[in-house]
Amino acid sequence: MGSSTSIRLIEPGDAASVAAHRARDVEAFRPWEPAQPPEFFTPAGQAERIDGLLAAHRAGTVWPGVVLADGRLIGQVTVGGILPQPHLRRASLGYWIACVAQNQGHAGRAVGLAIRWMTDELGLHRVEASTRMANLPSQRVLRRNGFSPYGVARSSIRLDGSWHDGLLWERILSE
């Protein structure tokens, strides 16, 4: 039996755990995420980042969550760009799982829990995500959670010194 997966709102006290994962996994995430300054990988840098995320949460534009395996922090799931207006009701989704906890189903379960949160708590209608064309594991997570690809954003993100295309994903939450 695998470990249980849960999500909760990020807290200031999570900074050291997040920093430890991000510092250890910097090379593994290099192909998938933009370069960050050295302070990003420190507890102080993460504390500052978390403060910003929680300010955006209070403003209603972000729901920044952490992913837990049996109560231990192993990643993040973020609902961003929240547009709660009745004629929009959408957001974007991003996530990462620490290397030590990958390939155990946590990403898929965390995305499923975030979808439930967006539907039940935020009342959203639509969620979008983006992956690099080569990020097949993340694409599997999205597909298993009911997302469909709907387009390609050409040369949309600069990673590891080069511009890359992004595959755009969508899910209508009421379906």
| Model pTM above 0.95 | no
Residue 2 predicted with pLDDT over 70: no
Q: How far is the C-alpha of 160 from the C-alpha of 68, rounded, in Å?
A: 29
Residue 36 predicted with pLDDT over 50: yes
Domains of the chain: 5-128 (3.40.630.30)
Strands across the sheet containing 162-172:
5-9, 63-69, 72-83, 90-97, 126-132, 162-172, 148-159
Residue 1 predicted with pLDDT over 50: no
Tell me: the pLDDT tens digits for 68-79?
Answer: 999 999 999 999
Residue 175 predicted with pLDDT over 80: no
Q: What is the average per-residue pLDDT within 88-105?
A: 95
